[in-house]
Structure 1
């Protein structure tokens, strides 16, 4: 076992899955965040200590490549490792495997190091803990994308249940919002790829317009504040 990696067994529960018995995208993203935190905790880098030291990681981008979407009650293994730094951000990879070793999906992520007290972004050189990066690659890749002339579907105002312990909208909420505006003829299919970029955080009571562009089996969504500033971008490809 590679000491630079951290592996946990998961079993998708009924509430974790959609009507196809596929794991919901927001659940997979929550697992990634949980696993990343537990990997650090296993090395005595706890969230509480990082908060005290004025350093926390915030997810900024994620990309998922599915060979097969994890499904209800199918035991799996999820592994994560640090990928080092890229520019001003930290990278982290994930891979999800069946018990026989077949890959179900993998995930590429980028994280900003932020001072939770001043809300200022810290440079990677300011990180006070040890990194143990692994150069292993995954198929998923964080890339830039943009919806060309998307159509506004509706407005959404964030409510109490959307907020997490950091005081802002939980990352998974944005994936749920995208899923809710995609037509059923596409959501009835299985996911092939998934991407999301978090640009400006949202808080309880704020409203965003939800926009969608469909190009064959690729859906690109945006959340925009009333002043036109983009909160998030997300893209899903179905097969």
Structure 2
């Protein structure tokens, strides 16, 4: 049964979704969350094409991911998502991933509604005007603040935006950042395993642009990485990793 309060789907981890460490790629995890919310809206008659025709698209602004363990090949995931209300112009939605009865991952995602052409942010009341989701306020203790990078982190390299990176909003898809992050993380951190990661999407990156990637350790078991494009800060990421 489809409800506005919860949407549930299952998905098996395919071989091509697993990376060099033998676990689900971070980019695939973010894609699964994106697709789950899209399926929820689609089942309620508010899929991407319908909303775009009405002059509205959603742009993700944050993904806060808490990982107990990453799934492996052939694991069957049950993914549950729940709209959590709004704070300012941002919509909140959470995702809980299970393997059997075991909860393995939680994601809190924020997004904004925007005009499809100009990407001008719309007030939440525009989407809430469909009268499908309740107009509720996200509790303060659960809100997500943008990751603010410190000054002085070293340049790690550059990443050009390619045609295959683009989504149907014509910018670098939010899930691709998961690949970029792993590509620029030091191997010793990848080996320890990520327990928590937040990606803040600040300025969209588009075809032909180049992201300049900066990063470094910012605390015990903490690493911060960010990218700058032609308009300034493109994205920022804070992650926690395990001990050896």
Normalising to structure 1: TM-score of the pair? 0.91
Mapping of 1:182-193 within 5 angstroms? 182-193=185-196
Q: Is the 8 A contact 1:58 1:113 kept in 2?
A: yes
Q: Is the 8 A contact 1:147 1:212 kept in 2?
A: no
Residue 222, structure 1, aligned to residue 223, structure 2 = no
Q: Is the 8 A contact 2:6 2:80 kept in 1?
A: yes
2:60 corresponds in structure 1 to: 59
> Distance in 2 between the 1:74 and 1:126 partners?
39
Q: For structure 1, which segment, 113-122 or 1-10, has the greater mean C-alpha deviation from structure 2 after superposition?
A: 1-10
The correspondence for 1:196, drawn from 196, 199, 208, is 199
> Distance in 1 between the 2:135 and 2:79 partners?
17
Structure 1 unmatched runs, 5+: none
1:15 corresponds in structure 2 to: 16
Structure 2 unmatched runs, 5+: none
Mapping of 1:36-185 within 5 angstroms? 36-99=37-100, 101-127=101-127, 128-129=129-130, 130-132=132-134, 142-148=144-150, 149-185=152-188
Normalising to structure 2: TM-score of the pair? 0.89
> Distance in 2 between the 1:202 and 1:106 partners?
26
- Equivalences, count: 236
CA shift for structure 1 position 143? 3.3
Residue 6 to residue 136, structure 1, CA distance change in 2 (3 Å):
farther
> Distance in 2 between the 1:119 and 1:113 partners?
9
> Distance in 1 between the 2:145 and 2:177 partners?
18
Q: Is the 8 A contact 2:156 2:184 kept in 1?
A: yes
CA shift for structure 1 position 189? 2.1
Q: Is the 8 A contact 1:81 1:133 kept in 2?
A: no
Aligned-residue RMSD, C-alpha: 2.2
> Distance in 2 between the 1:233 and 1:218 partners?
14
> Distance in 2 between the 1:87 and 1:42 partners?
26
Residue 136 to residue 166, structure 1, CA distance change in 2 (3 Å):
closer
Q: Is the 8 A contact 1:157 1:206 kept in 2?
A: yes
CA shift for structure 1 position 231? 0.3
2:212 corresponds in structure 1 to: 209
